[in-house]
Amino acid sequence: MSVDVFVGIGHGTTPTGVFDPGAVFGQGEDAFIEHDKAKAVVEAIADALARNHVSAFVEQDSGAGHDPNFVESAKTANAQGAKLAVEVHLNAGGGTGPEALFKPGSPAERFATDCSAKLAAALGLPNRGPKPRDNLGFLNGTNMPACIPEVCFVDNAADRRAFDAVAAGEAIAQAIVGFLGGSFSEPSTDDGAVQTRIRIRKLNGNLSGEMSLAEALDALKDRVKGARDDVAKTGGALEWGLRLEKKQG
């Protein structure tokens, strides 16, 4: 039984069982890890596609790794008979803003153009646009149009601050639905179906993720205590921000 779209997660566990994190900025609990961020975006894409009744095969974790260019993900997409194949990545190398990679001459250029623009608008970053690439196994190995959205730059502070997995996932899903000829349905706010989404953000822009209010308050207490200890050693100043948002659900 074929599906409308294959959605893959960049990097992850390789066929030999070694974890490939992709691009990484920072260390410890504040590390900004490409694979983890891509996985969060893919989860948001899956939610949005389900809401729009788009059938999708969604990788739970990448088994392709670097063998060398994600050809196993392409094989999986082909086996699913997808009409479109998408594998989410984050970029590195000192740039800023999203872009979307496609094979030269592929119909995926239309998707890449729309996807990059929607990501840029959703995250408030410069749009680097569609980028033709002829040397990537995922793009070359698929039987259908394929695209690699690069959501933002791991090694750019402004991009890290702008990163929002839900917003990015909604943007990519909207581009997918449009490419398939559908009309995108936004999250419903009927019947008060709203959950509180908590984000704890250091002033350097690193997000700790989404959690319940109780979990967020506990995490904030623990982090402030640890930060206060560090500040006491250095004599510096401590500033933290807690931002509350409404999450549609």
Looking at the structure, do residues 54 and 98 belong to the same domain, yes or no?
yes
Supply the pLDDT for residue 195: 39
Q: Is residue 185 part of a domain?
A: no
Q: From CA 197, how far away is CA 231, in angstroms rounded?
A: 29
Residue 13: is it exposed, middle or buried by C-beta count within 10 angstroms (0-12/13-18/19+)?
A: middle
Looking at the structure, do residues 151 and 235 belong to the same domain, yes or no?
no
Q: Is residue 184 part of a domain?
A: no
Tell me the pTM: 0.75
Looking at the structure, do residues 115 and 218 belong to the same domain, yes or no?
no
Residues 65 and 198 sit within 8 Å (Cβ to Cβ)? no
Looking at the structure, do residues 54 and 102 belong to the same domain, yes or no?
yes
Looking at the structure, do residues 20 and 74 belong to the same domain, yes or no?
yes
- Last residue of a domain, which of 147, 179, 211? 179
Supply the pLDDT for residue 202: 35
Looking at the structure, do residues 169 and 209 belong to the same domain, yes or no?
no
Q: Is residue 52 part of a domain?
A: yes
Supply the pLDDT for residue 249: 40
DSSP strand pairing (129-132 vs 99-102): parallel
Looking at the structure, do residues 158 and 61 belong to the same domain, yes or no?
yes
Looking at the structure, do residues 52 and 168 belong to the same domain, yes or no?
yes
Looking at the structure, do residues 44 and 160 belong to the same domain, yes or no?
yes
3-state secondary structure 23-79: CEECCHHHCEEHHHHHHHHHHHHHHHHHHCCCCEEECCCCCCCCCCCCHHHHHHHHH
Range of the structural domain that residue 59 is part of: 5-179
- Last residue of a domain, which of 136, 157, 179? 179
Supply the pLDDT for residue 137: 87
- Last residue of a domain, which of 159, 179, 199? 179
Q: Is residue 135 part of a domain?
A: yes
Nearest to 15 by CA among 57, 60, 59, 68: 68
Looking at the structure, do residues 65 and 142 belong to the same domain, yes or no?
yes
In order of 49, 162, 181, 193, the CA distances from 190 in angstroms are 19, 28, 26, 6
Average pLDDT for consecutive 10-residue bins of the chain (249 residues)?
A: 90 78 92 94 96 92 49 87 96 96 97 98 98 93 96 97 97 98 83 38 39 54 55 46 42
Looking at the structure, do residues 155 and 228 belong to the same domain, yes or no?
no
